């Protein structure tokens, strides 16, 4: 018998329309599992536990700490063969990377969710859940780190990115297959680490960087242009933040490709890199933020997390 733990957190997969027509996460983990059971082989045993019931846009670092703790508690049981987590798509990539950074166990952890609500006549949630449970039960999934099962695809946590607001195959990977998966680090609490994401635009000033510093940011992620550039005025703000000892990770708004800090000028990536800014590699803004939070909370070099 293959034993899988199913942890539920809410999201569209657990949502149904209320009297106003708005979708809210009201479906229990037991209801989700009961819908999936007819499509699962008899050798898979699933135990379900509801952790929370939230839209994933509302998941804070405190809830994320709880999810990480729940996964590690279940993996402490040697009889557990894998873990599946149902999760909203809005922040699935952030939760997946946080779990992956701390995941030193060979057993699979698989996240899944849905683009259509549980009560939709063509809901994709149950099918995704069945795929995720089968993936977590597959011995070939061991030692692959944290995975996302969605829309018929299996996507590594590192580099996962939501590519579409409505299509059923919602996620892609921005990371090449040959890209390394860094060694896992010990779990540390993430709540209380303040890292905002600031978007650049052509000609952007430094005011948002300065505001982030004034508000107590412990680190800053800049979603830059191109391969990692911003306007001179914003670059001057970043330089001032770096001089004040606040680490800055530079990512890009471009959907695919590596961040290369190659250009000169006050807002150029090469200039900011020479001052201590770190390029995010293939990670986009949400995952770059998680990586920087873990680095700050755990006292790790930022580049080791990216």
Which residues participate in catalysis according to the annotation? 12
Cβ-based neighbour number of residue 251 at 10 Å: 27
Q: Which residue has the tokens 């090469």?
A: 270
Cβ-based neighbour number of residue 79 at 10 Å: 7
Distance CA 169, CA 57 (A): 19
Bridge partners, residue 279, by sequence:
250
Distance CA 143, CA 100 (A): 11
Q: ∠ CA 267-270-276 to the nearest 5 degrees? A: 90
Q: What is the DSSP string of 135-148?
A: HHH-GGGTTS-EEE
Which residues fall within 8 angstroms of residue 153, CB to CB, at 6 or more apart?
Answer: 169, 171
> Both tokens of residue 104?
């030193």
Bridge partners, residue 146, by sequence:
109
Q: Which residue has the tokens 């770096």?
A: 242
> Both tokens of residue 156?
């590594």
- Outline where 138-247 has alpha helix (H): 207-214, 232-243
- Contact between 238 and 222 under an 8 Å Cβ cutoff? The reply is yes
């Amino acid at each position: 018998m293959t034993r899988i733990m199913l942890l539920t957190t809410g999201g569209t997969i657990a949502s149904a329309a209320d009297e106003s027509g708005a979708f809210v996460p009201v479906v229990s983990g037991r209801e989700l599992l009961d819908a999936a059971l007819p499509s699962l082989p008899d050798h898979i045993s699933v135990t379900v536990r509801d952790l929370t019931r939230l839209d994933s846009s509302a998941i804070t670092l405190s809830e994320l700490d709880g999810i990480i703790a729940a996964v590690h508690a279940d993996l402490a049981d040697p009889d557990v063969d894998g873990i599946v987590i149902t999760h909203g798509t809005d922040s699935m990539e952030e939760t997946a990377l946080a779990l992956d950074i701390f995941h030193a166990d060979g057993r699979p952890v698989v996240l899944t969710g849905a683009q259509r609500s549980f009560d939709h006549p063509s809901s994709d949630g149950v099918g995704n859940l069945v795929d995720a449970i089968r993936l977590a039960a597959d011995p070939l999934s061991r030692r692959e780190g944290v995975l996302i099962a969605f829309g018929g695809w299996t996507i590594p946590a590192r580099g996962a990115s939501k590519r579409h607001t409505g299509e059923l195959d919602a996620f892609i990977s921005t990371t090449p297959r040959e890209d390394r998966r860094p060694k896992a680090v010990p779990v540390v609490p993430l709540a209380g680490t303040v890292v905002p994401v600031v978007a650049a635009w052509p000609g952007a000033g430094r005011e948002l960087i300065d505001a982030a510093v004034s508000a107590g940011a412990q680190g800053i992620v800049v979603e830059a242009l191109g391969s990692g550039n911003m306007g001179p005025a914003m670059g001057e703000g970043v330089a001032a933040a770096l001089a004040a000892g606040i680490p800055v990770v530079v990512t890009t708004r471009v959907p695919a490709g590596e961040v290369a800090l190659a250009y000169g000028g006050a807002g150029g990536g090469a200039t900011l890199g020479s001052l201590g800014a770190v390029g995010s590699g293939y990670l986009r803004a949400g995952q770059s933020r998680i990586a920087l939070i873990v680095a700050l909370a755990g006292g790790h070099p930022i580049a080791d997390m990216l």
